[in-house]
Structure 1
Amino acid sequence: MDLAYSAALPQEEFIERRRRVWAQMQPNSALLVFSEIEKRRNNDCEFPFRQDSYFWYLTGFHEPNAVLLLINTEQAKKAIMFLRPRDPLLETWHGRRLGVERAPQQLALDDAYSIDDFNAVLSEECNNLSVLYHAAGLHPWADELLAGSAIDFAEVLDWRPFVNEMRLIKSLNEIRLIQQAAQISALAHLKAMQETRPNRLEYEIESEILHEFNRHGARFAAYNSIVASGENACILHYTENDQVLKDGDLVLIDAGCEFALYAGDITRTFPVNGKFTQAQREVYALVLSAQKRAIELLVPGASIKKANDEVIRIKVQGLIELGILQGDVDELIEQKAYRRFYMHGLGHWLGLDVHDVGEYGEERGRTLEIGMVLTVEPGLYIPKDADIPTEYQGIGVRIEDNLLITEYGNKILTAAVPKEIDEIEYLMQKNQEFSKM
């Protein structure tokens, strides 16, 4: 068992989460949460294992092929784990296992059984229960395993709606880990700015980012890193990262680390040669002004929708001034003319998943609350073939920060990475001067 992850949070945190789940379960019910399983990469090789976020959230256990069973009756509330038993031969080949005997004490459970005994124990423990909570379709192996059960529950409900709500509001311990993920991600972006120069390859800069993650204790990226230079920045999820960085182009980097399973998510856009052209400066300044205004608005009691409406207005007005759009601001907004250049949302929840769980409300109108963490990432993506002034063609800009909603408004967790034009140019020019010495 890898204790590096579980040590990041006190055991009491997982116990309290299970208590909150029990409080929302119907009487005479059972709830099942399944782990992730190892996934084949090719032949005898698997992808690096990453635990299912829901399973981790309620157990702190980082092994595959495991199941958490919570039972809620008038007589008792029980937490039971099914997991792989110890096997010296297999552990020699594939790594250590916690095992059935140590699991109850290590994970604060009532009982533990081999995963091979799942159906037999489930029948015994749940024979007289009427309601089962199960997230059907989340894991095919879970549905297959459960299909072998002989129990016929009167009602099957999905536990995700109330667990998602729990995950949406972060505890103080979770905030501490997200702050660390944000800080490490910020250091990696600083390194990327320092190492970027013409004629390097996009994936060389990606390797600098990944090395910086590792160097500061984050072994994995939270998602596939984007290093998109030139018109590649107009591809929202560009991950090929195999082109040469050209003098005079911008490069858009969207990268964040995963620290103790919590995600950071930062985007910065800057010139490959360290100096913005006039056209690049104008588009960048427009996106930055929109982001700053959004951050002002993303406070308790507000909504992502309210902030995004303001962002859209700022961008449409700015695009008119640049000659990229023509017409009346209100009419262009009504026609959604901006969608050609800004086609995604303003931000998303952040936590154990980079696109974390939780309802957004109709048109992202949910009221923001203290303890929510989200990204704010307006962008403009101007196609190379757009019928606009040529100096703006092929420019893609996105600026993304991570925000914690607080009682005082919000806190920018990723402020360590410069985003003012003068600060970016100073940092890059200073580094390039140093590299010539």
Structure 2
Amino acid sequence: MINCALPNSEFVTRRQQFIDQMADNSIAVFFAGKEVTRSNDTEYLFCQDKNFLYLTGFNEPEAILIMVKSGDGQSFLFCREKDPFQEVWHGKRVGAEKAQSHYAFDQAFNLADFKEKFTELLGNKEQLWFCHGIDKANEQQLMSCLAKVKGQSRQGITAPNIIFDCQEVVNEMRLIKSAAEIAIMKQANVISGGAHQRAMEKCRPELYEFQIEAELLHEFARHGARHAAYNSIVAGGDNANILHYTENDQPLVDGELLLIDAGGELHGYAADITRTFPINGIFTEPQKQLYQLVLSAQDKAIAAIKPGVTLGELNDIACEVLTQGLLALGILIGDYQQLLNDKACKKYFIHGLGHWLGLDVHDVGDYQMKNKRQSRPFQSGMVLTIEPGLYIPADAIDVEEKWRGIGIRIEDNILVTDLGHENLTVNAPKSIKEIESIMAAQK
């Protein structure tokens, strides 16, 4: 299952696509992530800044990418220098020489040369591009160099008079996935779907939530997704009504449901899958009714996905199904159309229907909010989640007792294609029959 990362040609193409969108005679700067201290002299596992990763494929901390738009454009990388002593303690470094040849930058330098070289490149440029909101130390470094160039005006050197936030440019590029990206995301989904099935197979009453979490992490890692894309939610019973529950420290109770929201990260790309199933392997009748309602809402929303449709329109579809179902079950009371107009189902469906997915779990990209509706038309190459849910806390005294303490969410990852869509979440069981059959086989 372990696959190679994206080819270097992919990153070269991305850099050129970015340069093509830059203003003439401009310069852009992107910073790599930094190692973060966990405690005393230990660090969290390094996670590269996703914009930097998208444009370079270079996975070391503290590096800097410069792109210059003059002529056809050029790219420069600054990275940590080779250091035998540091490499013995902390791991191998690529170094500038290998970085230039292997990653196909026009030039590469040691990080210590950045200020001098950047100041030189900044001279006589008209615009400076970077993503606003970056680490303050990095921004101060840029402003220091800019001030130095401004101080050279007597020598006839001019400084950029426009500072441009280029985050939206990168966001738009990242929103439409290439064939190579889609291949990785498909694989991430297969790995993550297998982990959800493993969780169903291993689940038993009186195990703890963290023991099921361990099964997920095991399945991710043994197929090449060493890291979870986000902190896994393994929520038994009423814990499922806490949307971002990550304590995962409670025992699993016979007769309750288990909601798992978890996905692996493969070569930087995230899967984001949610499944809900009975801890003992058999849905009760109330659980079954609510579960099938959520599944029906998801199925109908996914079926409508194609270019030109919007997430706002899908949300309307899901709300229609949920409102009708909640009314039929007696959880909502009143006139259907009025309940729909009042968005009454949102009392129990308390989050959005989905979000973009890619290098980040909640990936970048404009949703084009108009009147609080996500009105951006889908395009081929977008990937999004569809995740309706119903949440009825244990203390919800305004509903019948049989519904209380039930939290259900079902989430798949969907690729928009030229003709419609493709569900990437192919092997995570979600029908009642599939789930009960798999869990029965393990008893």
Sort the TM-score into its range (normalised by shorter chain): over 0.9
1:56 aligns to what SS in structure 2? helix
Q: What's the counterpart of residue 430 of structure 2?
A: 419
**Counterpart in 2 of 1:185?**
192
Gaps of 5+ in 1: 433-437
Q: TM-score scaled by structure 2? A: 0.94
CA contact (8 A) 1:36 1:139 kept: no
Q: Give the distance between the partners of 1:329 and 1:29, measured in 2 at CA.
A: 57
Distance 2:250 2:28 in 1: 49
**Whole-angstrom CA distance in 1 between matches of 2:167 and 2:245:** 31
Aligned pairs for 1:32-431 (under 5 A) are 32-74=29-71, 77-149=73-145, 150-151=148-149, 152-362=159-369, 363-386=373-396, 387-431=398-442
* Structure 2 counterpart SS, 1:206: helix
CA contact (8 A) 1:82 1:115 kept: yes
Aligned to 1:435: none
1:77: Cα distance to partner?
1.4
CA distance in 1, matches of 2:428, 2:226: 21
* Residue of structure 1 equivalent to 2:152: none
What is the number of equivalent residue pairs in this alignment?
A: 427
Tell me how far 1:333 sits from its aligned partner: 2.6
Query: 2:14 aligned to 17, 24, 29, which one?
Result: 17
Residues 189 and 426 of structure 2 are in contact (CA less than 8 Å); yes or no, is this contact kept in structure 1?
Answer: no
Aligned residue for 1:101, secondary structure, equals helix
In structure 2, how many angstroms separate the alpha carbons of the residues matched to 1:382 and 1:116? 57
Task: Verify the 8 A CA contact 1:69 1:80 in the aligned structure 2.
Answer: yes
Match of 2:156 in 1: none
1:275 to partner: Cα distance: 0.4
Q: Which amino acid aligns with 1:347?
A: G
Residue 361 of structure 1 and its aligned partner are, at CA, apart by 1.4
**Secondary structure of the residue that 1:102 maps to in structure 2?**
helix
1:125 Cα deviation after fit: 1.2
Task: Give the distance between the partners of 2:137 and 2:353, measured in 1 at CA.
Answer: 35
User: How far apart, in 1, do the equivalents of 2:105 and 2:428 lie?
Assistant: 42
Compute the displacement of 1:337 (Å): 2.2
> Secondary structure in 2 aligned to 1:251?
strand
Amino acid in structure 1 at the alignment position of 2:305: L
Task: Indicate the SS of the match to 2:97.
Answer: coil
1:143 aligned partner, one-letter code:
E
* Worse-matched range after superposition: 240-249 or 297-306: 297-306
8 Å Cα contact 1:313/1:329 also seen in 2: no
**AA in 2 matched with 1:46:** E
Partner Cα separation in structure 1 for residue 135 and residue 10 of structure 2: 25
Q: In structure 1, what is the Cα distance between the partners aligned to 2:329 and 2:55?
A: 51
- 1:101-156 CA-partner distances (Å, limit 9, x unpaired): 22211110111122122111111112110100011212233213223212342001
Are the counterparts in 2 of residues 233 and 252 from structure 1 also a CA contact under 8 Å?
A: yes
SS of aligned partner of 1:310? helix
Contact preservation (8 Å) 1:226, 1:254: yes
Secondary structure, aligned partner of 1:415: coil
Is the 1:228–1:238 contact (alpha carbons within 8 Å) kept by the matching residues of 2? yes
